[in-house]
Amino acid sequence: MSARRSATDGTIRLLTGLLIAWLLTGCAGRELATRDEPGALSIDRAVILAEAKRSLGIPYRVGGTSERGLDCSGLVQRAYARAGIRVPRTSRAQFEALPRVDEARPGDLLFFATGGGRKASHVGIYLGDGEMIHAPGRGRRVTRTSLALDYWHERFLGAAAPAP
């Protein structure tokens, strides 16, 4: 009886460990995967990236959509408008409405849950080479950021591709 109980206890511990590992993996979110194809940008994507680059250095402003100040979704809306593509105003609405992709290409949108929950609260434009352009928050300016930081991987929700 003792050997059977020991085997049962071992099986239960193994299954419990596997369940915990599976749950922790689910908490980590989606994998932040990118795909760079040099020379394969559509005109729309080139225009979006050019506008995002022109926005570098603009100060952060909640609700901002102009040279005077931009928030993250305002940056996206402005860059996509330059290419003639309409997107919703907020990062949450953009995340809910736009077509998802498994791998981000330059010009695609990257969504993050930075507010402590699991809803989209931040968005950036994938630049290529493992970087994004985004409006990071109060007191800062539109900037380029490396996606290699654990901060982004831990908060990543998904990518969307509204541009052809």
One digit per residue, the tens of pLDDT, for the chain of length 164 reads 455 555 455 444 433 443 333 333 344 457 898 888 766 789 999 999 999 999 999 999 999 999 999 999 999 999 999 999 999 999 999 999 999 999 999 999 999 999 888 899 999 999 999 999 999 999 999 999 999 999 999 999 999 999 99
Is the separation of the CB atoms in 29 and 111 below 8 Å? Answer: no
What does the DSSP 8-state code read for residue 34? B
Would you call 134 a catalytic residue per the annotation? yes
Would you call 153 a catalytic residue per the annotation? no
Q: Which of 78, 92, 105, 134 is catalytic?
A: 134
Using alpha carbons, select from 14, 35, 11 the residue that is nearest to residue 110.
35
Would you call 72 a catalytic residue per the annotation? yes
Q: What CA–CA distance (Å, rounded) separates 24 from 22?
A: 5
Q: Which of 92, 105, 122, 155 is catalytic?
A: 122
How many Cα atoms sit within 13 Å of 2 on the Cβ side? 0
In CATH, the number for domain 32-160 is: 3.90.1720.10
Instruction: Enter the pTM of the model.
Output: 0.80
